[in-house]
Amino acid sequence: MDSGLVQDSSMAVKKKTDIFDKCFKFKTAKELQHAGIYPFFRIIESAQEPVVTMNGKEMVMVGSNNYLGLTNHPKVKEAAAAAIKKYGSGCAGSRFLNGTLDIHVQLEEKLAHFMRKEAALIFSTGFQVNLGVISALVAKDDVVVVDKMDHASIVDGCRLSFGEVKRFRHNDMADLDRVLGANNGRGKLVVVDGVFSMEGDIVDLPETLKTAKAHGARLMVDDAHGIGVLGKTGRGTCEHFGLEDEVDLVMGTYSKSLASIGGFIAGDADVIHYIKHFARALIFSASPPPASVASVSAALDVIDSEPERIANLWRNTNKMLDGFRAMGFEIGPTQTPIIPIIVGADETAFKFAMMLQEDGVFANVAVSPAVPPGKALIRTSYMATHTDKHLDVVLNAFSRVGKKLGIIS
């Protein structure tokens, strides 16, 4: 008898099913590797600076979220080293039990002050913030309403909640109004990105807030890509629109402008207190390590003491926005240091990224399902510490590759 069959005297012959079958059949990545156009998991041998080293070769980095250039700042590194010297490398437990250090509490107070909220709560990763907060707040009879272009961590946080999930068309206030109106009489949480991580556009926060309030919904803003970038003092999307006192919850990450890894939620003290006791992603995760906590604290100090970094970031951003548009690239509705170059087919994006790499430029690729089918893009992002020389290298490389691939003339 065929070894792939199991005989049961009381049942028909059944074929064995191996849960690993999907793994053995997955060939796409290996085919891209074989073709020399696989753009993921590239190995960097240096710090996340405007110029990085790959395979011993220097490349201009435009694929990093290190917007203010703080990951290698001397004060940030000194703070991390001092924290390790005092507290060691880790906390060996969760915040809920043995893993709360005095510097965790001090950072929460500092973040609350920075975000101009009553309280803040820190998590070990930004992804876990959205998992923990949404699943803690949205109960069985509630509804969570999200923008269709929200980050994957928001989507997964919704999946972990026991409430119903509703989506509205990207930045479409009429559709948000429709969705909320169909769910009157229920507890409602609207969750939006402040800056959308692939497209680089900014949420219509005034109208989102107005629509949410009209239906008695609470509003949470994931400002991972807004903090350190938007607002007069880098407080993010809410400061940009002058709505800091109006938005209920603001989520932020450290892995962009704040030079480390982790995340936080800021809002009313009672709400943060509740999340602290019901967010499984907090309670059952190891505590953020001392070096990370100290790095974020130092980064907040640098943001306040070196405001020229935000000005430099926007000078660089505007130069690149103007440069790409002048060459004829399609960059969509971006308004921020995230500038996507829309190239169309997935294979074109893979080729584009590898040709840029050959030309000394490191940029990222986004293909379906991260973006709509046929809208594959090269995602670029800029730092306050890029020089005009760095940016000219990037523009010249994009011009050469874009012409070779027939994307621009």
Catalytic residue among 73, 166, 225, 351: 225
- Strands of 225-337 (E only): list them: 249-253, 263-267
Catalytic residue among 124, 135, 153, 197: 197
> Taking the C-alpha atoms of 104, 108, 109 and 113 in order, what is their torsion angle to the nearest 10 degrees?
150
Burial of 377 (C-beta count, 10 Å sphere; 0-12/13-18/19+): buried
Tokens of 167: 């989506």
| Closest listed residue to residue 161, CA positions, set 153, 172, 170 | 153
Respond yes or no: is residue 404 known to be catalytic: no
Respond yes or no: is residue 225 known to be catalytic: yes
Catalytic residue among 240, 256, 351, 390: 256
Q: Catalogue the long-range contacts made by 326-329 (C-beta closer than 8 Å, 24 or more residues apart).
A: 327/395, 327/398, 327/399, 327/402, 327/408, 328/408, 328/409, 329/398, 329/402, 329/407, 329/408
Respond yes or no: is residue 295 known to be catalytic: no
- Quote the CA–CA distance of 122 and 251 in Å, as a whole number: 10
Contacts for 332 with CB less than 8 Å, ≥ 6 apart:
199, 200, 201, 340, 342
Residues taking part in catalysis: 197, 225, 256
